[in-house]
């Protein structure tokens, strides 16, 4: 059996009913996300990029069409697939009462992984923040918080990470450093990365770049 892990959107359309109003986001979108690729999606505000990310992550179901999750050649449910994905958000979403080490160790502690704190300490060193282990998020810069959020996403060794505007809250220089860190981590771990961004500079660093426009996906590169 071919070992193949992928997410496939097949002729997906999506819309929302808001009272009498219907918000029609996209029609007949097909896209295959391989684990060894970095995919970026750009598009104007409100085009539906975050909604597309939610569908690809199995958090929501499309209005029509299918999203197929395959893990090592076997089709799995969205519920099962969600155990093997991670997220990076614009707002970092670290737990404010926990220090950097505990924020990083938390996903492993919740899974009952042994030596969670040791693994978190290794990741802190990987991202160059070993001297900030006992700082809380409020004592860290935005870029430092996002480095921890990136490590937290990768620490569970997911198949895919979905990053929604990961550099949106950062200045250009810090954003470039964060982009490189995310891409390096994806390459080193073999994790698929799907990035929604307004930054063309970041988008163009992906293996495949798409624009969500006129309710469809256009290939940019």
Name the site residues for ligand ATP (rule: CB under 6 A): 16, 18, 23, 25, 43, 45-51
CB nearer ligand ATP, residue 51 or residue 156: 51
Dump the DSSP string for 62-99: -SEEEEEEEETTEEE-HHHHGGGEEEEETT----TTS-
CB nearer ligand ATP, residue 49 or residue 205: 49
Least Å from the CB of residue 165 to ligand ATP: 7
- State whether residue 5 is helix, strand or coil: coil
Least Å from the CB of residue 18 to ligand ATP: 5
- Side-chain-side CA neighbours of 95 within 13 Å: the count stands at 11
CB nearer ligand ATP, residue 16 or residue 216: 16
Neighbours of 156 (CB within 10 A): 18
Least Å from the CB of residue 44 to ligand ATP: 7
CB nearer ligand ATP, residue 46 or residue 128: 46
Least Å from the CB of residue 14 to ligand ATP: 9
Asked if residues 150 and 88 have their Cβ atoms less than 8 Å apart, the reply is yes
Least Å from the CB of residue 125 to ligand ATP: 34
Q: What is the DSSP letter of 124?
A: H
Return d(Cα 163, Cα 193) in angstroms, integer. Answer: 7
CB nearer ligand ATP, residue 53 or residue 120: 53
Return d(Cα 193, Cα 167) in angstroms, integer. Answer: 14
């Amino acid at each position: 059996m071919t070992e193949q892990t992928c997410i496939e959107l097949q002729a997906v359309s999506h819309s929302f009913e808001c009272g009498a109003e219907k918000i029609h986001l996209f029609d007949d979108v097909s896209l295959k996300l391989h684990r060894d690729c970095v995919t970026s999606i750009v598009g104007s505000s409100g085009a539906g990029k975050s909604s597309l990310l939610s569908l690809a992550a199995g958090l929501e179901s499309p209005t029509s069409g299918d999203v197929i999750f395959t893990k090592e050649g076997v089709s799995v449910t969205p519920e099962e697939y969600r155990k093997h994905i991670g997220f990076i958000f614009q707002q970092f979403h670290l737990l404010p009462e926990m220090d950097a080490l505990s924020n990083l160790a938390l996903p492993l502690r919740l899974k009952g992984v042994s030596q969670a704190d040791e693994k978190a300490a290794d990741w802190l060193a990987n991202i160059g923040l070993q001297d900030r282990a006992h700082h809380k998020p409020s004592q860290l810069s935005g870029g430092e918080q996002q480095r921890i959020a990136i490590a937290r996403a990768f620490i569970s060794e997911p198949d895919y990470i979905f990053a929604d505007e990961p550099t949106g809250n950062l200045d250009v220089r810090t954003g470039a450093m964060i982009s490189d860190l995310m891409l390096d981590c994806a390459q080193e771990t073999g994790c698929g990365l799907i990035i929604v961004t307004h930054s063309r500079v970041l988008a163009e660093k992906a293996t495949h770049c798409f624009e969500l426009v006129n309710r469809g996906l256009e290939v940019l590169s």
